[in-house]
């Protein structure tokens, strides 16, 4: 691997994470433009459209996306990935954005890797290493500062935001673990495409997307386009391509660009006011995840061991 290839991978992953952060800002802008737009409706539109685009692209490049349905076990795992992984990581995130703002929602969601560590501790009886334990402590302190602003007897953010943000963080964990057995055989494009499409279709049980007669201006449709194309399809493809040049541990470190970009663009374009507690807490959470990622080789071994037991 040449230095040029490594640089290419770093740039691809960094831009992908920045675009994911911008998608949260675009969603916050859309909710402000039209209060009739719900997180459910936006998630349905995003998932179904992005899922179709990825599957069509997969067919064009020859990855044979329909192969995944030839076996009952792989089909069921795709469904579980869509419902238990992608739904909380996207729907719950948009709910947190709608009731709060993009920076806080993204920082809370960024706690997802620690949910994975807690899962291995409780159910696989794997004791956290010192970097993981230190990261958990940093994350706890950072989250506490964001939630309380230093006043332990009161909440500084709405409990609704904390609820949806917490569910989205759990979604990051399930979104990481559930599709891994499928990726080596079927590829990221097919797995993610089907997961998005299945999840988007199933969400219609709670409210058919065609029944919401939402009128949008060109600005509103522009935000939806940004969320689907620049906040879903393009960054996913860029991040998947980046993994061919850099290690997953390096990519995990670059995930820090997502909450950073969400914060910067929210302050610049939405005039979101963040307190010193939000900034300090968010910085601690980002540093905590970086500490965990630096010990990522062990985390990868744990995930591979988990995948072997599932198979």
Answer for the pair 48, 285: CB distance below 8 angstroms, yes or no: no
Task: Classify 82 as helix, strand or coil.
Answer: helix
How would you label 109-148 residue by residue, b for 16+ Cβ within 10 Å and e otherwise?
bbbbbbbbbebbeeeeebebeebbebbbebbeebbebbbb
The answer on pLDDT for 296 being more than 70 is: no
Phi-psi label, residue 151: left if phi above 0, alpha if psi -120 to 50, beta otherwise: beta
Per-chain mean pLDDT for the chain: 86
Could you list the beta-strand ranges (E) of the chain: none
Binned at pLDDT 50, 70 and 90, residue 210 comes out as confident
Above 80 in pLDDT, residue 308? no
Question: What b-and-e string marks burial along 270-301, b requiring 16 or more CB atoms within 10 Å of the CB?
Answer: eebebeebbeebbbbbbbbbbbbbebbeebee
Calpha distance 108→121 (Å, rounded): 21
Share of the chain above pLDDT 70, in %: 92
pLDDT of residue 257: 86
Predicted pLDDT of residue 307: 46
Q: 212 pLDDT band (50/70/90 cuts)?
A: confident
Question: What is the token pair recorded at 156?
Answer: 């500084």
Q: pLDDT tens digits, residue range 53-82?
A: 999 999 998 889 999 999 999 999 999 999
Q: Give the pLDDT band (50/70/90) at residue 220.
A: very high
pLDDT of residue 75: 96
Decide: 195 and 51 in contact? Cβ < 8 Å: yes
Per-residue model confidence (pLDDT) at position 304: 52
Question: Angle of helix 72-80 relative to helix 188-202, nearest 10 degrees?
Answer: 60
- Please report the sign of the dihedral spanned by the C-alpha atoms of residue 157, residue 227, residue 190, residue 63: negative
CA distances from 237 to 41, 63, 230, 243, 270 (A): 24, 14, 10, 10, 28
Nearest to 228, CA basis, from 58, 45, 14: 45
> In 3D, which of 186, 196, 149 has the Cα closest to residue 69?
186
**308: burial class by Cβ within 10 Å (0-12, 13-18, 19+)?**
exposed
**pLDDT, position 119:** 81
Specify whether the CB–CB gap between 125 and 306 falls below 8 A: no
State yes or no: pLDDT of 300 exceeds 90.
no
**pLDDT digit string (tens) for 2-47?**
778 888 888 998 999 999 999 999 999 999 999 999 999 999 999 9
pLDDT recorded at residue 251: 72
Q: What pLDDT is stored for residue 138 in this prediction?
A: 83
Average pLDDT over residues 287-306: 59
pLDDT band at 295 (very low <50, low <70, confident <90, very high): low
Per residue in 86-121, pLDDT (tens digit) is 999 999 999 999 999 999 999 998 888 788 878 878
């Amino acid at each position: 691997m040449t230095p040029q290839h490594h640089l290419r991978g770093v740039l691809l992953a960094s831009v992908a994470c920045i675009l994911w952060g911008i998608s949260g800002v675009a969603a916050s802008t859309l909710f402000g433009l039209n209060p009739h737009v719900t997180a459910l409706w936006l998630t349905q539109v995003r998932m179904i459209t992005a899922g179709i685009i990825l599957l069509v692209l997969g067919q064009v490049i020859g990855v044979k996306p329909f192969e995944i349905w030839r076996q009952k076990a792989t089909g069921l795992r795709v469904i579980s990935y869509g419902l238990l992984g992608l739904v909380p990581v996207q729907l719950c995130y948009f709910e947190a954005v709608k009731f709060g703002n993009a920076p806080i929602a993204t920082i809370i969601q960024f706690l997802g890797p620690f949910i994975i560590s807690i899962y291995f501790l409780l159910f696989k009886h794997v004791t956290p290493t010192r970097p993981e334990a230190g990261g958990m402590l940093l994350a706890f302190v950072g989250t506490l500062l964001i939630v309380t602003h230093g006043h332990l007897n009161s909440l500084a953010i709405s409990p609704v935001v904390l609820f949806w943000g917490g569910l989205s963080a759990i979604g990051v964990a399930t979104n990481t673990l559930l599709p891994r057995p499928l990726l080596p055989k079927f590829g990221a494009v097919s797995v993610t495409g089907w997961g998005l499409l299945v999840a988007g279709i199933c969400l219609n049980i709670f409210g058919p997307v065609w029944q919401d007669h939402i009128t949008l201006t060109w600005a509103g449709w522009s935000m939806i386009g940004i969320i689907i194309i620049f906040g879903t399809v393009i960054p996913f493809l860029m991040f998947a391509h980046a993994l061919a040049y850099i290690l997953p541990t390096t990519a995990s470190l670059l995930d820090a660009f997502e909450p950073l970009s969400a914060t910067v663009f929210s302050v610049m374009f939405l005039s979101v006011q963040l307190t010193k507690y939000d900034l300090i807490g968010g910085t601690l959470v980002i540093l905590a995840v970086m500490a965990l990622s630096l010990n990522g080789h062990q985390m990868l071994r744990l995930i591979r061991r988990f995948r072997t037991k599932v198979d």
